Each structure stands twice: as C-alpha cells, then as structure tokens.
C-alpha cells in the first residue's frame, strides 16, 4: 500500500474515533436525563459543549497534521480555535438547546413523549456530527490554502457511503471552495498532486460505475461528468455553509 494511502487511512480512523467518542458521550447524557425541562437543558449544555469543543479542536489538529504530511511533510498549520469551533456563528449554548426545543415542539403538537424524545435525540446527534465535520472541512480548507495546494478531492470514508458523496467523490475541486457537507457526512479531503493535468475526473472507474447505477435506477445515460450537475446542487446554508443536496430536494437556507 502506498504511503499516501496509509497516511490517509490512519487519519480517517483517528478522526472517526474522535467523532464516535463525542457522539457516544452526547447520546449517554441524553439517555440519562430524568426529564426534558429547562434544568436538564442547562445540565446537558454545561457537560456537552466543552466535550464538543475539545472534539472539534482534536479533529482540526489531526486534519492540519495530515495535510502537512500529505503535501510535503512540513509543519502543520496552527489551528484557529474560533474558526473551527464557531463556524456556525451561533452560540453553542443556544445551538445545543435545540434538541429540547424539538421535544417541546413535538409535545405541543400532541406527539407521544417517547417519539418526541427520540426526535430530540436525532436532532442532537445531527448537531454533534455536523460540528465535527465542519471542524474537519474548515481546517482542511485553511491548511490546503496555506500549503499552496491548488486542488483537492473528496475522499469517501468506510464501506458505506451515500450516493451524494459517491458522485461528488469522482471529481476534483479547487482549493478555496469549501467542501460541501450534508447531514451525517463524514467524508475527508485529500490534496491533488501538483502534476495534476487539469482533468476534472479523479476516479474514472468509480465514475463509470456511478453512470451504470444511475442508468439502472433512472434509465438515463449521461456520459459527460458535468451532467451530474443536473442531479446535484451545492446550496448555501446560512449557518453551516455549502451543503450538498439533490437538485429537487426541498431545502432551507438556515
């Protein structure tokens, strides 16, 4: 296995471990709450926000180290704490109150308590996962720009990936264009070599397989890579930033 692949796999596993640890911690706190009132919201926020912040910083440092080693073995770019932990522009204490607001809203509409609590838990997991991913993406963008890299590719993580990410991973992207994410996304980015010839397609085999699967599902047979822009859009979410969506997906900007 090439050293670049070993480096990437090690980085992805380290980030996945941090993400899982923070999400498991959040889930344990939520599951241990005796009720879902203001007092419990304050308790969760006081315990969870420092853990999420620490996780974001750890992910950012792992990303900075990976990019430095992948590009030239140079010195990692120092992490901008506010840049990776305050990217939403929303106070974390307000952000992590939202799962409770989800519970209260559902209960106000006569949802069963168990269903409302489950919806709140799902909201909490999405918030934590997105915060971890935003830290990774923002640090990768900063580190790639600082290293003078011109292009990057989207790297799938693990054996299961959504169709959005699979399609997006077949292309190369300009550094400075923040890698779009979506709920649950755990993709990484990797620099494209300096001898890149300008071809937009990074993985022709995966692209061909994607063409085949799209043809089987839809009957369409669009051979040009840019035709996938007819399937996908990058939309701007006022809080998260660039978000990868299906073109016909109902989307809220914030």
Instruction: Give 217-249 pLDDT, tens digit per residue.
Output: 555 555 444 445 555 555 555 555 565 554 554
pTM comes to 0.81
Q: pLDDT tens across 130-169, in order?
A: 999 989 989 999 999 998 888 888 887 766 666 667 777 7
pLDDT, averaged across the chain:
81
Q: pLDDT tens across 169-220, in order?
A: 777 777 876 555 556 678 888 888 765 555 566 566 666 666 666 566 555 5
Residue 201 to residue 179: CA distance in whole angstroms: 16
Q: What is the pLDDT of residue 1?
A: 74
Contact between residue 155 and residue 8 where contact means Cβ atoms under 8 Å apart: yes
Nearest to residue 180, comparing CAs of 229, 233, 142? 233
Question: Both tokens of residue 110?
Answer: 């006569």
**Any idea what the Cα angle at residue 119 is, between residues 115 and 122, rounded to 5°?**
140
- Residues with Cβ within 8 Å of residue 243, at least 6 apart in sequence: 180, 181, 182, 234, 235, 236, 237, 251
Q: pLDDT tens across 69-107, in order?
A: 998 777 899 999 999 998 888 899 999 999 999 999 999
The full DSSP string for 184-210 is: T---EEEEPPTT--S-SBS-HHHHHHH
Q: What is the pLDDT of residue 160?
A: 62
- Residues with Cβ within 8 Å of residue 153, at least 6 apart in sequence: 169, 171, 172, 173, 189, 190, 192, 202
Count the Cβ atoms, other than its own, within 10 Å of residue 144: 25
Question: Both tokens of residue 143?
Answer: 């580190």
Residue 81 to residue 79: CA distance in whole angstroms: 6
């Amino acid at each position: 296995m090439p050293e670049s692949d070993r480096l990437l796999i090690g980085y992805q596993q380290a980030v996945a471990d941090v993400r899982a640890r923070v999400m498991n911690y959040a889930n344990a706190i939520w599951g241990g709450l005796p009720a879902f009132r203001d007092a419990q919201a304050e308790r969760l926020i006081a315990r969870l926000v420092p853990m999420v912040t620490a996780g974001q910083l750890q992910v950012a440092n792992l990303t900075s180290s990976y990019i430095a080693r992948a590009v030239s073995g140079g010195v990692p770019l120092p992490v901008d704490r506010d840049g990776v932990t305050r990217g939403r522009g929303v106070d974390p204490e307000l952000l992590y109150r939202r799962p409770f607001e989800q519970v209260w809203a559902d209960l106000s509409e006569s949802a069963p308590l168990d269903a409302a609590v489950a919806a709140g838990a799902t909201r909490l997991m999405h918030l934590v996962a997105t915060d971890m991913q935003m830290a990774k993406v923002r640090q990768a963008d900063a580190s790639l720009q600082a290293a003078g890299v011109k292009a990057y590719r989207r790297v799938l993580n693990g054996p299961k990936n959504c169709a959005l990410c699979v399609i997006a991973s077949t292309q190369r992207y300009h550094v400075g264009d923040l890698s779009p994410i979506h709920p649950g996304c755990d993709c990484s980015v990797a620099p494209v070599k300096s001898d890149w010839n300008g071809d937009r397609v990074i993985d022709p085999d995966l692209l061909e397989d994607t063409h085949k699967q799209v043809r089987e599902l839809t009957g369409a047979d669009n051979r040009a890579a840019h035709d996938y822009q007819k399937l996908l859009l990058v939309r701007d979410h006022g809080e998260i930033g660039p978000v990868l969506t299906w073109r016909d997906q109902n989307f809220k900007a914030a």
